[in-house]
Structure 1
Amino acid sequence: MIAAQNNNAELVRIFIEQNVRKDAYGSTALMYAVLNDADAAVKELAKYELNEVNNQNMTARDIALALHADQSIVQLLECAQC
């Protein structure tokens, strides 16, 4: 999760390979990346965690929209579905 918060795409890839997915709140690294406007991490993680939901049944895109995240983050999440 810290790798995503700090926008470290390389470390994010390593954690994905090790299957590190959710914390106690059901939040994914992608959700933490969204919260921190970490665009490189969002771009990488969206390939794997786009449709995951947290304990509040929210996706990363839902979180981005609710918190009025940077438009580039929202676009990355929407384009990942294309």
Structure 2
Amino acid sequence: MIDGSVGGNSARWLNHSCQPNCEAIEDGRGRVFIETIKDVLPGDELSIAYGLTTDEAMTPELVAGYACHCATKRCTGSMLALAYA
């Protein structure tokens, strides 16, 4: 799990987007690297699709609690992975 709120690591600078310009790559040894999947210019915001998961039942209230406001053309409206299905 990458959690920018834990320990203040660099992941805190990655925002969610339904059309991200980065992705997390695991190296097989437990280390995670962030790689760009699109051209990124100086000053561009770095983003990944959070793909959050939960064991709770998928309800409108739950989805609303993880609302996405990325404003991309294909925004799913949620940072939850199941909302992408």
Of the two, which has the highest radius of gyration? 2
The answer, yes or no, to whether TM exceeds 0.5 is no
TM-score, normalization: structure 1?
0.27
Structure (1/2) with the larger strand percentage: 2
Structure (1/2) with the larger helix percentage: 1
